[in-house]
Structure 1
């Protein structure tokens, strides 16, 4: 928790003002009981109406000043805590944006969402309470003790007896609360994960009639979180009555012993009234502190989780001194590359060597799990290789600045992903300053202009979240247009033609060949018809290269490729 407070540094001036305002508020509240005692002891007892009016007016002014100070302090505290939460969310989001795919896989998307939202909100709420209660409460408690002792040192022994009892009660509550709050955050993660899986996989769930089982999963996670929350609320519910019971017993003791001292002439009525007020201020300050002890454990658990994210060193980082390109622009070379996913028993890719040159189409084909997408991810440096090297323009991708490397690449992912916004905005995702003409040209090459014209609004038509209002083939064509508008030196197509009919596929490949004639094109595909015309075809089999060559060369020399071809094409089509 303390480590996160460094994000309050930009707010040093407002925090200083809050400290001053808290001090002034404490002084005003501590001064009021003394004024009340003076009214009773000197005004009411002596029947001095003028004194009562004069001191009463002073009480009103002090109370008004304390109120204004409290309101201003609350306003500044809210501004500071909200700004702190905003800065912390931004920092966590920027940190997560720099994670490698392995970092995402290790932490999990559900927990990253929870840590960026719920956890930071918990810390933000506690910062607000710290700025208001944690600063004011100690001042009130210490000031109350000083003023109470000044009124009657002997009667103050009651406070000496009560405070250890109250401290023990707070300690007990904190000891039981901390594990429960930590457990709650973990269970919120689990609930978020179940909800996320249930929403994103709704089509599969319904297709397999698993709605009931998913409902049971959700209910189990929800009930688990609810049971823990009930335990926490029971603990908090028991705390306040316990505190109030102790406060009332203390008040009774003070009135009892104070009455005896008044009867003995050792104390005045006004001083007893003021003493009771000071003790109540002390007790309420300690109650506020106890509330902090209930809130802080949960925020501390959240802070630990946030710090875990901020402490992660991304598995893929920019080199201290990125090197400039020194080879042909757009050339991609794999030199004896071996890559293994963390925890995997065998490499996903092993001994991979080939060169993809500008002006050529390099196709990659192979069975499911052969390592095709992994190979593409290594070019983008989503992961780093364990052995060998991937070179772009003659430089190892690990020696490139990631932004410079990816600026040279137009990437079309295997799973077509669109963002909420217009069609034009989704295409411009590839090039922020693309002109309307460039957007239209990219859509035309991607064979998307036809269906775009039929949408209400054309290029200004809204795309729903996840692109749910367009078909799979339309999404693929829009993602291809997004890469084309960038006009990069390297194009990576990761199996992006599976949802297209053969006629559209053929037109698209012909248009792409014209459009990308000067660039390096690496195309992952499942269909043999898609890769037949490639300048070189790389056949992957269980992470190894089974063959490299043209379609006809591989038919003669590569058994794996021949099996793939015969599984998709007839003898007449081959001829």
Structure 2
């Protein structure tokens, strides 16, 4: 039962901050042990002052009692400051570690999972649910000391003073615990509804902000605002429901915990009159009880917050990667407030496989996208020699993109086998595949930052930078950018043109080998936003660099998918796909001579491009 609880499952995260937790717990023990000193020393000082008035004490004793009281308060306060600093730092570091770990887990997801979960929902879980979880984690550390040990220390001191009076005063407290347990399902249910509503709203906002230009072009802005209003109202109602329950329970807990004050005043006053207790002793007991009341009502709230945090962790658990091992970290790393475990993990070591072009072999392969019963690829059999240039075309929906995505390892086929250089693709590690297979998708996704950061030039020598820039046709663009390679391109590359985005993405694909040529270069309609002449120049440059190279370690297998066929005469082999099948296969010249679909498409495009070029020259 204990092993199923989320507080047991997050033990690796405790270990990552064990140094900070140790310092915080030591300070907390000192604080909560010393918490009884101020009331006791205050009571002693009052009794000393009353004795001095009767001539039974001295001013020296009174001064010592006052100094002791101030010292006890100072010790308690210093320990409290240290405890809060170290434990809250540990809490925030744990959440940072968990968010980092969630991102690592998401990056390792199969592509099929992204078809089932919205990006906005993922964002809400990483940001919002980790915040809710942090509250529970804070309760399990800070409140364990501030409330539990604090209350136990006070209750023990009250028992020492007067056990009967302490037990009578504490009699209503178990009722608050029972109520907290009984309301657990309500707390978990309303927290889950609130977090789901937050995820739905975040997903909608992310979708609308991403497509804001389309919303304006097609006049859908009012509809999107209306839907956001509805979702915001649902989130407001869920928040109100959770808040009403939480705030409604707080006064009930407080009333139950503080109701014992009647017994303390009534019975304690009688004992002073009877001479069983002194006035100082009753004042000290009252101070202890008042301090207990100030924190005691938080004990049932502790259970409710732990319950809410459990809901948040359940929503996070499925996306978390195994926590990084801390054995190789620097000594005393767990004592460092600013360290996030896993951020400094070294890049996984790739295998020592020889560089050079990769041969591709596909046998009886069938593939369909998640959620679709219609095969995008059906019975594909294909062998592509290492170091060759293959061009693929076909109508929209013929399976060109699906074929490259399967070759890149983004999706696994439902049947059949894909091999690179004689090794099944499933046997390649993600690290080896990322260093040996470069894939440029149709949509060149760029990140906010500089051109250099998007291409990934951090680990490359300057000579390699210049070579990649030349191959991708970016030389003139880089020269015209105000900051050169350090020019900021905005989110998604919004500050550069479509053609520049494609060429920057092409440069990034060429740089994946970290200093050596990629073994397999997959380009999916990479030149849709560049003119025909630039396309031809880039393809010819890529052929010269990766196909016609004499040194095998510098060569690569190049596969290009495109609707435009102007560059196809440069290819060693041309494939035409239709309805997920290869319907034409051969050299450009052989397919032209066959005078079938490929020849008709090429000739039609050639007739269109020839007058356009003549017009530009004229």
State yes or no: 1:191 paired with 2:201: yes
CA offset digits 1:35-72 (Å, max 9, x no partner)? 23333345425624534332222111111111111111
Q: Deviating runs (4+, > 6 A) in structure 1?
A: 322-328, 571-574
State yes or no: 1:467 paired with 2:493: yes
State yes or no: 1:221 paired with 2:251: no
1:259/1:370 CA distance change after superposition, 3 Å: same
| Structure 1 equivalent of residue 508 of structure 2 | 482
| Structure 2 equivalent of residue 316 of structure 1 | none
Aligned pair partner of 2:543 in 491, 494, 513: 513
Aligned pair partner of 1:261 in 271, 283, 286: 271
1:243/1:492 CA distance change after superposition, 3 Å: same
Aligned pair partner of 2:425 in 384, 394, 397: 397
Aligned pair partner of 2:447 in 414, 419, 422: 419
2:172 counterpart SS class: helix
| Structure 1 equivalent of residue 413 of structure 2 | 385
Distance 2:595 2:84 in 1: 75
Distance 1:11 1:447 in 2: 49
* Contact 1:334–1:355 (CA under 8 A) maintained in structure 2: yes
Distance 1:185 1:158 in 2: 41
The 5 Å alignment of 1:233-248 reads: 233-248=243-258
Distance 1:6 1:79 in 2: 17
Distance 2:374 2:595 in 1: 24
Aligned pair partner of 2:109 in 91, 96, 99: 99
| Structure 2 equivalent of residue 116 of structure 1 | 126
Distance 1:495 1:406 in 2: 20
1:309 counterpart SS class: coil
Distance 1:106 1:397 in 2: 24
1:470/1:326 CA distance change after superposition, 3 Å: closer
* Contact 1:100–1:383 (CA under 8 A) maintained in structure 2: yes
CA offset digits 1:413-456 (Å, max 9, x no partner)? 211122333323333x2x54333333233223322222322221
Aligned pair partner of 1:4 in 4, 7, 10: 10
State yes or no: 1:36 paired with 2:42: yes
Distance 2:473 2:355 in 1: 33
2:36 counterpart SS class: helix
Distance 1:510 1:15 in 2: 61
2:137 counterpart SS class: helix
State yes or no: 1:406 paired with 2:434: yes
State yes or no: 1:353 paired with 2:359: no
1:341 counterpart SS class: coil
Give unpaired runs (5+ residues) of structure 2: 1-5, 324-349, 549-555, 612-618
| Structure 1 equivalent of residue 582 of structure 2 | 545
Distance 1:207 1:18 in 2: 56
| Structure 1 equivalent of residue 283 of structure 2 | 273
* Contact 2:438–2:509 (CA under 8 A) maintained in structure 1: yes
| Range with bigger deviation, 448-457 or 208-217 | 448-457
| Structure 1 equivalent of residue 463 of structure 2 | 437
Distance 1:196 1:572 in 2: 40
Distance 2:76 2:242 in 1: 35
CA offset digits 1:316-353 (Å, max 9, x no partner)? xxxxxx99869984211212212233343132212111
| Structure 2 equivalent of residue 337 of structure 1 | 365
Distance 2:609 2:541 in 1: 27
Give, in angstroms, the shift of residue 523 of structure 1. Answer: 0.6
* Contact 2:520–2:557 (CA under 8 A) maintained in structure 1: yes
Tell me how large the CA RMSD over aligned residues is. 3.0
Distance 2:201 2:492 in 1: 22
2:459 counterpart SS class: coil
| Structure 1 equivalent of residue 529 of structure 2 | 499
| Range with bigger deviation, 565-574 or 299-308 | 565-574
1:516 counterpart SS class: helix
Distance 2:165 2:82 in 1: 36
1:537/1:454 CA distance change after superposition, 3 Å: same
Q: Please report the TM-score for the alignment, with normalisation by the length of structure 1.
A: 0.89
